[in-house]
Structure 1
Amino acid sequence: MIQISTHIYCDSLFESMDIANKLLPNQYKDFPYLIIKNFFSQASCERLVQLVQKDEETKRKAQVKKEVIAGIVQAEVVEEYRKTNIYKLDSLYAKYYDDQFIKYKSVIEEYFSVALTLSTDVQVLEYKEGFFYIKHADDSSEIINKAKQTIAFKLVAPQRKLSTVLFATSHKTNVQNGAQSFSGGELMFNYLYNSKGEPVKIKPEAGDMIIFPSNPYFSHEVLPVEEGYRLTLVQWHDAI
């Protein structure tokens, strides 16, 4: 393993790989990702969950990018890879989100030593019981050989430098309020490990935002939700 921050290591496979986007925070940071507590208030999270759960008419299956012949990229539902629902963020919440992001923008830029430029629209992603998202990197496609070994990563979204995930519900070992919490459903970084060699799993409180580079070092998956309701706001950011 390779130590990339005080408490976190990455898989040694990256020693021999040419990664196009190698953005990493200073190795003397405690963690290679940033968690902002209370980005949204608890009350705002609860209200957002209520709005989304009522928004059945605009719900549609989340789409994933699939590369086909001639380099054309088309979006389609592939539930083998990802099972989740996507919503458009309410206009009042969109303003609240933008105001909060501006408030923390300088903190994020300092942590990763970048200047943020453009951002995508915010996606509201809903995970019910049994929903999941398999391992992926936000800016690259993983190339695997016949032995199912990772041999390279192909950059497909160079404008994605940082990823942000805001949790509107909390991870709980024992779910008591199925609308506001969930068990399982951890955000797991597949190539990041703690000092014991265990994969890093994020178990958030509602209102937490995690920010991490979009590159393959931070390949991740959403483990299947065992119980309850997982709601997140996801966005990608370009930076220089």
Structure 2
Amino acid sequence: MKKLISVFLFVFFSFFLFAQEEVPSQEENLDPLTGFPVIEEKPFVVYNEGLATSWVTRVMKQSGRSNFVFSDFLAGAYFGITARNMEPMDLTVRLTAYYPLSSKFNGHPQVSSSPLHYALDLYVAPTLRLTMWNYVYINLSGGLHFFFQNSERWNYIDLGIGGLAGLELPLSRRWTILIDGIASYDYGNFGTNRNLEPYNHVWQYQLSLGVRYSRAGENQYSYIDSRRKG
């Protein structure tokens, strides 16, 4: 029993002395103006851009007959901003401009009388960035999704939740290839369709291929130059 007490006291006082030695170093890292620890890895912003496609499905439930299913295929370009080194996760804001290429009702193509239609997609979410041995980076996020579409009959306004899964391929020191997929489920009755054509379900899938050029967020490892960056 005495040996056990002696070992406990030795460990306790050793930890106490070690903690006392660590206090000065912690105080040296405090910001003299705020009193909080100095942020070693400063937050910064990277910019992404690329091409995107989207599949939108809207469903009106019917009793005694088949449901009404409206589907649109769109293509466009996106621009995204990601704030890095944020605590506890990064933040992604992504805006996409689309042009509707085709529309179907219950699988039958619909012809538009005017080509002047467009759509805007906004995605905002905290993002978790993982790495696979620095060869590939994986982005996972979930957050707010907003979609506006000007169509032949209505101005759709959809609001809901979405999730993103993406890959970052570090091509070179400053260039990165981005492959992203987004799935969302929305409430689709904020637009002009809400009274005459309310939808029971609205969902959307997006696929995109983009690039990033960044000096602030340089790749420490890359395919073209695999040597470790200092």
Q: Same fold (TM over 0.5)?
A: no
Structure showing greater Rg: 2
More strand per residue:
2
TM-score range, shorter chain: under 0.3
Higher relative contact order (CA 8 A, sep 6+): 1
Larger helix fraction of residues = 1
